[in-house]
A and B are shown apart, each in its own frame.
Chain A
């Protein structure tokens, strides 16, 4: 049998390729489905919702940014300034001050996780770490729920820019964040063979994969196959151009700030335009146990202010803000009391997050903290509530329920409630 195939006329090229095509359908690629779905694409695009999470790794001091207490013992040196909305924010956020009519500050966040890893997990998933269930993060949940709005998307629906984000949990690795650096460079994208040969390799790989999967050795193997399928899609996709943030005009790049976070936010806008459902952009360096005010004033806040303001304005100008939800938060905030090193330590009991876009009513502050910033006044909100509100803004039903394979039902956003007043 073998010898027959080793002769050049054993099988024609066309015959071989038709074998390839048949087998390739088993991979579940969108190649054969593409046409019929594209008809609906324009309608879908109109109602296509997306989310951009600006993740502040380390735990930013919201008392020095969004909820100032000038003149009090805990207040620190920063002054409050008026904004285009009905709220005041830090004097070191002058550009954002012009955009606040789009954004709402939730000043009554009260959470219990003040360790980085636990806090990051909790704010990303709505659940505290649990040894027995791996919960999916925001990005995975949103991508999973909104994927049907973007049938022609060939690039990953969940992209993490300049940071790690959190994993897809029980939804499986095919919903994992696609991690890229803030300049959008994707490693190992250049295939050294032509598409015919790539296809041949794909068939060979698929043959080996499938027989192993059929041996019932665990769900991770099926995930591996799905990820391979997505990797093949991405290799040949024109949509990858969305990652080329360098192609933006110089003045646009400068408007966002020529630093990692600035370019990351610009990349986020490009990705949302290309149809990505969830983009997380990371800005670290908020773990300011020492010299917090100098660090904020000279370093972190100028970077944040410029990029966040440019992103908000840009989305608005392009008519995307209505369908794109912006979320600003970290894993917790920092102690109202200023420590001996002119820093602030971890504090989760009373703090702020900022949300806007996607139909959220901007220009307002919801809830408040007491005079020294240590406690929430009125109804406290949690990670679950923020997540539920963001899902609502994206048109995802709060009745959505996931079932883990062991049969445990789990409501989206861990049954969080809508934050009152966010929606008109």
Chain B
């Protein structure tokens, strides 16, 4: 179903490249850039009305706060950001050149259209977003443990297909919440969407499904109210169990390898629910208050809408009803807009982004609600939302702070004002894909093999918390284990390898002076030319290596890949 992308086979260097021509091209595009800036001023950039709305609202909030925004970032840096955030990796040398050669005032929009609409990027786009969503839906470790019944490949396949086809977001949510079928690709009734709930419905009366669906899709944190009325949250225990009641017809059945006791996969089904009092026509559930008193609950949605009480699937399909009710909820719209805003701008309208409860403060609330409405009115088209945000003023700003906006620092507890781009570390997945594009390492095999290899690599960073809920965190967080991996890990060794056939070997043995080659490294890795002091260090290293260019390039490339400038999105 998915196109085989060109990027699979396109090399970092266009075909039989000649080094000098490329370097000259690079020098050229800086000049072109300057000319363009003046030309562009006289021509108008096309902006969607939603982008203009964002700019207006955010600019007004700067004024209210008495701060001034940072300067607009250079186009090439914006280009790096967009590649990282939209398809999950930095741009290649060729891609930077294509962008810079575009003389239109709409070259940013043109780049977005390429990334979002052209076949050559479909696969990378789908891969990037399916990875993000797999982590949201089943966790970084979901389906990776030995005994896990979640099929990560199945989950990814469903998500990849959804993003490759730009499935409307509401449709995707409906499918995930109501899915039935088998978790494993190739099994009868395969439906990869079932992997979201497969491990969340059998234990503890589907408490995990209740918490995950409300948090991920509606921005409502209900897990605390499972046991008691939460003091800081208007959600009450009653609401938790009423929401929980929607999942009680759902069962995850084990399907075995024929003739053995080995579990092959899970089949997620809806079956008649007798209720805890054995009245299937009015299938109730019970929960216990802290004082020991038992209370009864039937399916009621968060807005108070009740559905039929019957436990017979033929009369009331509870998950289906839930899916339909969720489609009507404006929490659905707000949650995804908040998630996408935070993805691109670094912080959401709320913190954390999946808590929209009334106790949690919201910044730019009018803009937030208006964007949510626009998103619904534009058919839940994620690609449009991406364009609105990435063309907006706050996404274009430099990460360099000024005296006028230094106080806008959400990491220090301030509410975000989006007056400069918030520098942030690449995710482990972005780093992996960026190293692959910058070095052509780890690109052997088909897509699934590449994905498996990446997931294996990712596992080294996952640490579990030892709870039944499978909570986990990552050590790819800027601490020492990450530093050690970047210094010595297999991925870096491959990236700086001088073996015949590697790109560094091509660079080192190809035409050009050492200085030109170092320039090339900086442009490829950081999207800029080296500074004089950086060239001096390279020259010193070359001297220390007695003129061995390959070794010097290795050391410089190692330093570039390890630098903050490479590993941060800025």
Q: Are the chains A and B members of one assembly? A: yes
Residues of A with Cβ closer than 8 Å to B? 1-2, 4-8, 10-11, 13, 16-17, 19, 57-59, 112, 114-118, 120, 131-134, 156, 163-164, 167, 170, 173, 176-179, 186-192, 196-197, 200-201, 203-205, 207-209, 211-213, 215-221, 223-225, 227-228, 230-231, 234-235, 282-287, 289, 337, 345-346, 404-406, 408
Partner of A179, one of B231, B481, B515: B481
30 contacts between A and B (CB under 8 A): A5-B543, A6-B514, A6-B539, A6-B547, A7-B543, A114-B227, A116-B465, A116-B467, A120-B465, A133-B413, A167-B477, A186-B484, A190-B488, A191-B487, A201-B558, A204-B558, A208-B559, A208-B560, A208-B563, A216-B400, A216-B402, A217-B401, A224-B568, A227-B478, A228-B483, A234-B484, A284-B465, A285-B466, A287-B467, A287-B468
- Residues A204 and B411 in contact, CB atoms below 8 Å apart: no
Assuming the contacts A6-B542, A118-B224, A207-B537, asked whether A176 and B480 have C-beta atoms less than 8 A apart, the reply is: yes
Assuming the contacts A208-B563, A225-B564, asked whether A188 and B484 have C-beta atoms less than 8 A apart, the reply is: yes
Assuming the contacts A132-B414, A204-B541, asked whether A284 and B467 have C-beta atoms less than 8 A apart, the reply is: yes
**A2 neighbours in B (Cβ, 8 Å):** 513-515, 535, 539
Most A-side CB within 10 Å, residue of B204, B464, B560, B564: B564
- Residues B478 and A176 in contact, CB atoms below 8 Å apart: yes
Q: Complex: how many Å from CA A414 to CA B564?
A: 34
- Residues B224 and A208 in contact, CB atoms below 8 Å apart: no
Distance from A318 Cβ to chain B, minimum over Cβ atoms (Å): 27
**Which of chain B's residues 493-530 have a Cβ closer than 8 Å to chain A?**
493, 513-515
- Residues A19 and B514 in contact, CB atoms below 8 Å apart: no
Most B-side CB within 10 Å, residue of A173, A192, A203, A231: A231
**A11 neighbours in B (Cβ, 8 Å):** 540, 543-544
9 A-B pairs with least C-beta separation? A284-B466, A57-B466, A5-B539, A231-B483, A204-B559, A176-B479, A164-B463, A287-B468, A132-B413
Closest to B561 in A: A205
Closest to A204 in B: B559
Q: Complex: how many Å from CA A164 to CA B465?
A: 6
Closest to B223 in A: A115
**B228 neighbours in A (Cβ, 8 Å):** 114
Closest to B481 in A: A179
- Residues A189 and B412 in contact, CB atoms below 8 Å apart: no
Assuming the contacts A205-B563, A207-B533, A346-B227, asked whether A164 and B538 have C-beta atoms less than 8 A apart, the reply is: no
Q: Complex: how many Å from CA A20 to CA B407?
A: 37
Quick check: is B25 within 8 A (CB to CB) of the other chain?
no
- Residues B478 and A10 in contact, CB atoms below 8 Å apart: no
Partner of A117, one of B471, B477, B480: B471
Distance from B423 Cβ to chain A, minimum over Cβ atoms (Å): 4
- Residues B467 and A203 in contact, CB atoms below 8 Å apart: no
- Residues A289 and B468 in contact, CB atoms below 8 Å apart: yes
Q: Complex: how many Å from CA A329 to CA B559?
A: 43
**A16 neighbours in B (Cβ, 8 Å):** 540, 543-544
**B469 neighbours in A (Cβ, 8 Å):** 116, 287
**A58 neighbours in B (Cβ, 8 Å):** 465-468
Partner of A223, one of B224, B352, B478, B535: B478
Distance from B278 Cβ to chain A, minimum over Cβ atoms (Å): 15
Distance from B135 Cβ to chain A, minimum over Cβ atoms (Å): 16
Distance from B547 Cβ to chain A, minimum over Cβ atoms (Å): 6
Closest to B487 in A: A231
For B399-427 the 0/1 string (1 means CB < 8 A from A) is 11110001101011111000000111100
Q: Complex: how many Å from CA A6 to CA B412?
A: 47
Assuming the contacts A167-B477, A170-B412, A231-B480, asked whether A188 and B465 have C-beta atoms less than 8 A apart, the reply is: no
Closest to B407 in A: A406
Quick check: is B555 within 8 A (CB to CB) of the other chain?
yes
- Residues A221 and B423 in contact, CB atoms below 8 Å apart: yes
- Residues B484 and A116 in contact, CB atoms below 8 Å apart: no
Quick check: is B556 within 8 A (CB to CB) of the other chain?
yes
- Residues B468 and A205 in contact, CB atoms below 8 Å apart: no
For B270-290 the 0/1 string (1 means CB < 8 A from A) is 000000000000000000000
Q: Complex: how many Å from CA A185 to CA B538?
A: 35
For B230-273 the 0/1 string (1 means CB < 8 A from A) is 01000000000000000000000000000000000000000000
Q: Complex: how many Å from CA A407 to CA B400?
A: 22
Q: Complex: how many Å from CA A367 to CA B429?
A: 49
Partner of B460, one of A170, A187, A404: A187
Q: Complex: how many Å from CA A22 to CA B518?
A: 24
- Residues B538 and A211 in contact, CB atoms below 8 Å apart: no
Quick check: is B531 within 8 A (CB to CB) of the other chain?
yes
Give how many A-B residue pairs fall within 8 Å (CB-CB). Answer: 238
**B489 neighbours in A (Cβ, 8 Å):** 187-188
For B352-370 the 0/1 string (1 means CB < 8 A from A) is 1001000011000000000
Q: Complex: how many Å from CA A302 to CA B404?
A: 60
Distance from B209 Cβ to chain A, minimum over Cβ atoms (Å): 15
Closest to B544 in A: A16
- Residues A8 and B480 in contact, CB atoms below 8 Å apart: no
**B543 neighbours in A (Cβ, 8 Å):** 5-8, 10-11, 16
Q: Complex: how many Å from CA A116 to CA B223?
A: 10
- Residues A209 and B563 in contact, CB atoms below 8 Å apart: yes
**A220 neighbours in B (Cβ, 8 Å):** 411, 423-425, 478, 568
Partner of A1, one of B204, B411, B539, B558: B539
Q: Complex: how many Å from CA A188 to CA B475?
A: 14
Distance from B29 Cβ to chain A, minimum over Cβ atoms (Å): 22
- Residues B464 and A284 in contact, CB atoms below 8 Å apart: yes
**B483 neighbours in A (Cβ, 8 Å):** 227-228, 230-231
Distance from B73 Cβ to chain A, minimum over Cβ atoms (Å): 11
Quick check: is B570 within 8 A (CB to CB) of the other chain?
yes
Assuming the contacts A208-B534, A287-B469, asked whether A13 and B544 have C-beta atoms less than 8 A apart, the reply is: yes
Partner of B480, one of A13, A215, A227: A227
Closest to A203 in B: B537
Closest to B560 in A: A208
Closest to A210 in B: B533
**B415 neighbours in A (Cβ, 8 Å):** 132
Q: Complex: how many Å from CA A204 to CA B541?
A: 9
Q: Complex: how many Å from CA A391 to CA B227?
A: 33
Closest to A5 in B: B539
Q: Complex: how many Å from CA A212 to CA B563?
A: 9
Quick check: is B562 within 8 A (CB to CB) of the other chain?
yes
Closest to A227 in B: B483
Closest to B355 in A: A131
A219-B409, A220-B423 given; 6 more Cβ-contact pairs under 8 Å: A8-B546, A178-B480, A187-B460, A205-B559, A209-B565, A289-B468
Assuming the contacts A221-B568, A405-B409, asked whether A173 and B479 have C-beta atoms less than 8 A apart, the reply is: yes
- Residues B411 and A218 in contact, CB atoms below 8 Å apart: yes
Distance from B228 Cβ to chain A, minimum over Cβ atoms (Å): 7
Closest to B555 in A: A201
Q: Complex: how many Å from CA A118 to CA B546?
A: 58
Q: Complex: how many Å from CA A187 to CA B469?
A: 27
Q: Complex: how many Å from CA A180 to CA B564?
A: 24
- Residues B479 and A177 in contact, CB atoms below 8 Å apart: yes
Quick check: is B182 within 8 A (CB to CB) of the other chain?
no
- Residues A187 and B481 in contact, CB atoms below 8 Å apart: yes
Assuming the contacts A8-B547, A207-B534, A211-B531, asked whether A134 and B555 have C-beta atoms less than 8 A apart, the reply is: no
Q: Complex: how many Å from CA A154 to CA B489?
A: 21
Q: Complex: how many Å from CA A216 to CA B467?
A: 40
**B227 neighbours in A (Cβ, 8 Å):** 114, 345-346
Closest to A288 in B: B468
**B399 neighbours in A (Cβ, 8 Å):** 217-218
